[in-house]
Amino acid sequence: MIRFEQVSVVYEGASAPSLRGVDLVIPEGELTLLVGPSGVGKSTLLGTVSGLVPHFTGGTLRGRVTVAGRDTRTHEPRELADVVGTVGQDPLAHFVTDVVEDELAYGMESLGLPPAVMRRRVEETLDLLGLNELRDRPIATLSGGQQQRVAIGSVLTPHPRVLVLDEPTSALDPAAAEEVLAVLQRLVHDLGTTVLMAEHRLERVVQYADRVLLLPSPGAAPVIGTPAEIMAVSPVHPPVVSLGRLAGWSPLPLSVRDARRRAAPLVARLSAAPGIPDRLSGPAHPAASQGSAPDPAPQTPAGLKLPAPPVPAPPAFEAIPAPPAPEANPAPSAFEAIPASPAFEARGSGGGAPVAGAPGLLSRLLRRGRPSPDSAPAPREAPAEVHRVTVRRGRVQALHDITLTVAPGETIALMGRNGAGKSTLLSTLVGTVTPTTGEVTVGGRTPHRTAPPEMVRRVGLVPQEPRDLLYADTVAAECAAADSDAAAPPGTCRDLVSALLPDVPDDIHPRDLSEGQRLALALALVLTGRPALLLLDEPTRGLDYAAKVRLVEILRGLAADGHAIVLATHDVELAAELAHRVVILAGGEIVADGPTAEVVVSSPAFAPQVAKVLAPDPWLTVRQVAEALDAAEAP
Ligand SMILES: Nc1ncnc2c1ncn2[C@@H]1O[C@H](COP(=O)(O)OP(=O)(O)OP(=O)(O)O)[C@@H](O)[C@H]1O
Ligand SMILES: Nc1ncnc2c1ncn2[C@@H]1O[C@H](COP(=O)(O)OP(=O)(O)OP(=O)(O)O)[C@@H](O)[C@H]1O
């Protein structure tokens, strides 16, 4: 259905091709999963199928890509629209209409489908994706996950023969992701739809794939095979595969169910362990974590050859000590001497309209805001206190009677369904959303009543859409501005970018970065300022497992220094690895609040893979299992 013939892509000004040597066929009626490290060229490959590369991105495409016999270089994306439906990484950039229902109908309208068919399919899709209650809502007022569902719905309604999806579940809560994947699988099985989908969270998707296409490293030729074949050699793989490699299982498990069936001997070995190791103790295996555990050498099935995965050690952060439990370190000591953060973000990151003017404009001004003299001493007050806060946004009661205290050194994962109010809560903490009732104090100030320069060292937010934080023309200029605003030594921000992701070029426009590269830059900008309270809204989109491990290490280092961290995330593996405490929101209210291990295992939706495999034993991550085995089997 999709044929690549000796395809390569070079972007303008790039020193090397972003894609090279792609020569393969994606069969009709199958779900092919595209995997590989951040920035390796997955979106570029998808773009050659939908026609966005090179028509909209520039650059040079060599070779030939055909979809249902049509050459994507000679056909503009709109000339492929009856065959290919595309969901990109940034849904907001692709919406054509303002209201949910209209967006679902738009693709069918442009194909001239009869009104009765359109009506029926809109209703079906609203039900299928749980969008009925939102049908007449302006898209701009939806939460990130709600927008992603609309984007998926809008490509499903025209029933295209080929679906090209770039991280389609990255903003979805775990249950919604499962529903979307089930819908896709049904399309593949019942209608013979061909699905080509890039994803980083393999724990969510690998079991649905018929075939996996791996881009192992930048410029390397892709390999394609069954999920089991590819997972045995892939530098990116889900926790169950890491666990299988650690335990020496063959064949490797791809799902929790597979792994449970093989888990008995591992459980027996673990029973000799002295007890659960402190999850937050220093990493016994620097590379060990969720996806990239301390793997034994990967087995290579016949015919699959891979270069060594390029995972350089993070230069500046190897020696960061692990955080003690937050109670053990109550004083916000280490940031007393640290200058202010530039990275105060002003946009309501729940998909709401920017606070003022063009997107990013206010953030630009605020990022330029120097700390006022009275903010010079480090705040001694609690990083954040939220007391009986209620927020109404238009017709929606986004938060209801929320009370929450964030202690220095504490890392909290905010979880809960799409639209539960997570981004809204983060927005009240930076002051871009004003509580309807109740009080918020951050470092002793009321965020929405305090001038940004006074807030910048108290709080910094990496928004759900990292683009909102970026305004300079190059990565180097962004980083230089961040260093200067934070009075940090030149090179601080740039080192952070490289510590998170290797190979991010200096002179590229941030607009042209891959999703993961852009997030790494946004994280680095905010981390450079070392705010007392660090807020991260879905901080793993586009990041591969190795980058997540490095992010976890950096965040643990900050927490050990007394910084408080609140992350809103659907990434249950990240929460298990990083958070001391999990707070679950539902319908704007707190429905669970407690230590991570207790909260996540109490609901299958929030439990990480290792917990599901080894339940009722208490392990949550591959790292813990590795440490426990070391302890149990030490001579
Ligand atoms: N329009 C562009 N101009 C110049 N370089 C680009 C452009 N788009 C992408 N690149 C570069 O090409 C490389 C591949 O990017 P691509 O977005 O395809 O990666 P990806 O595998 O999808 O990454 P991620 O997992 O982070 O989404 C990256 O190094 C990126 O910086
Ligand atoms: N600007 C706005 N106007 C009206 N309603 C809004 C606005 N922004 C968000 N909402 C609504 O408020 C509720 C909470 O949204 P919020 O973005 O806080 O959810 P979330 O938990 O972060 O969701 P997600 O996981 O999808 O990012 C949702 O029902 C959303 O539709």
Q: What is the DSSP string of 376-444?
A: -SPP-S-SEEEEEEEEEETTEEEEEEEEEEE-TT-EEEEE-STTSSHHHHHHHHHTSS--SEEEEEETT
Atom 24 in ligand 1: which residue has the minimum CA distance? 38
Dist CA 48 CA 53 (whole Å):
5
DSSP H helical ranges for 438-544: 452-455, 475-486, 492-500, 515-528
Average pLDDT estimate for 535-561: 93
Query: What is the share, in percent, of the chain residues with pLDDT greater than 70?
Result: 83
Q: Name the residue of 180, 414, 424 to mutate for ligand 2: max ligand atoms within 8 A of Cβ.
A: 424
Whether 411 and 579 have beta carbons less than 8 Å apart is answered as yes
Atom 18 in ligand 1: which residue has the minimum CA distance? 41
Predicted pLDDT at 14: 86
Asked if pLDDT for residue 299 goes beyond 90, the answer is: no
Question: Which residues sit with their C-beta closer than 6 Å to ligand 1?
Answer: 11, 14, 18, 36, 38-44, 57, 508, 512-517, 542
Predicted pLDDT at 354: 28
* Residue with the larger pLDDT of the pair 438 and 374: 438
Query: What pLDDT digit, counting tens, does each position of 259-268 carry?
Result: 999 999 999 9
Cis check for the bond before 251: say yes or no (omega within 30 of 0): yes
pLDDT-derived band at 308 (thresholds 50, 70, 90) equals: very low
Torsion of CA 125, 130, 132, 137, to 10 degrees: -100
pLDDT-derived band at 361 (thresholds 50, 70, 90) equals: very low
CA angle 140, 142, 143 (to 5 degrees): 125
Q: Which ipTM did the prediction report? A: 0.96
pLDDT-derived band at 346 (thresholds 50, 70, 90) equals: very low
* Residue with the larger pLDDT of the pair 174 and 219: 174
* Residue with the larger pLDDT of the pair 381 and 180: 180
Predicted pLDDT at 380: 62
266-270, 384-388, 448-452 — which one is most confidently predicted on average? 384-388
Q: Name the residue of 10, 12, 18, 214 to mutate for ligand 1: max ligand atoms within 8 A of Cβ.
A: 18
Predicted pLDDT at 311: 32
Query: What pLDDT digit, counting tens, does each position of 407-424 carry?
Result: 999 999 999 999 999 999
Asked if pLDDT for residue 71 goes beyond 90, the answer is: yes
Asked if pLDDT for residue 557 goes beyond 50, the answer is: yes
Ligand nearest to the CA of 394: 2
Two structure tokens written together for 612: 């599901």
Predicted pLDDT at 276: 59
Gyration radius of the chain over CA positions: 24
* Residue with the larger pLDDT of the pair 181 and 324: 181
The amino acid present at 329, given as its one-letter code, is N
Average pLDDT estimate for 338-342: 29
Atom 8 in ligand 1: which residue has the minimum CA distance? 512
Ligand nearest to the CA of 36: 1
> What size, in residues, is the chain?
635
Query: What pLDDT digit, counting tens, does each position of 166-217 carry?
Result: 999 999 999 999 999 999 999 999 999 999 999 999 999 999 999 999 999 9
Asked if pLDDT for residue 471 goes beyond 80, the answer is: yes
How far away, in angstroms, is 286 Cα from ligand 2 center?
37
pLDDT-derived band at 547 (thresholds 50, 70, 90) equals: very high
Instruction: Please identify, by atom number, the ligand 2 atom nearest to the C-alpha of residue 416.
Output: 21
How far away, in angstroms, is 430 Cα from ligand 2 center?
16
Give the closest residue to 561 by CA, choosing from 317, 287, 288: 317
Asked if pLDDT for residue 520 goes beyond 70, the answer is: yes
Atom 17 in ligand 1: which residue has the minimum CA distance? 514
Instruction: Please identify, by atom number, the ligand 1 atom nearest to the C-alpha of residue 516.
Output: 26
Q: Cα-flanking dihedrals φ and ψ of residue 585, to 5°? A: -105, 145
Give the closest residue to 357 by CA, choosing from 349, 347, 367: 347
Predicted pLDDT at 67: 95
Helix axes 545-560, 492-500, angle to 10 degrees: 130
Average pLDDT, the chain: 83
Predicted pLDDT at 275: 65
Predicted pLDDT at 274: 74
Whether pTM exceeds 0.90: no
pLDDT-derived band at 503 (thresholds 50, 70, 90) equals: confident
Q: Name the residue of 8, 89, 514 to mutate for ligand 1: max ligand atoms within 8 A of Cβ.
A: 514
Dist CA 299 CA 252 (whole Å):
10
* Residue with the larger pLDDT of the pair 341 and 260: 260
Asked if pLDDT for residue 363 goes beyond 60, the answer is: no
Q: Which helix (H) or strand (E) holds 48?
A: helix 42-50
Estimate to the nearest angstrom the gap between the alpha carbon of 568 and the chain centroid.
Answer: 11
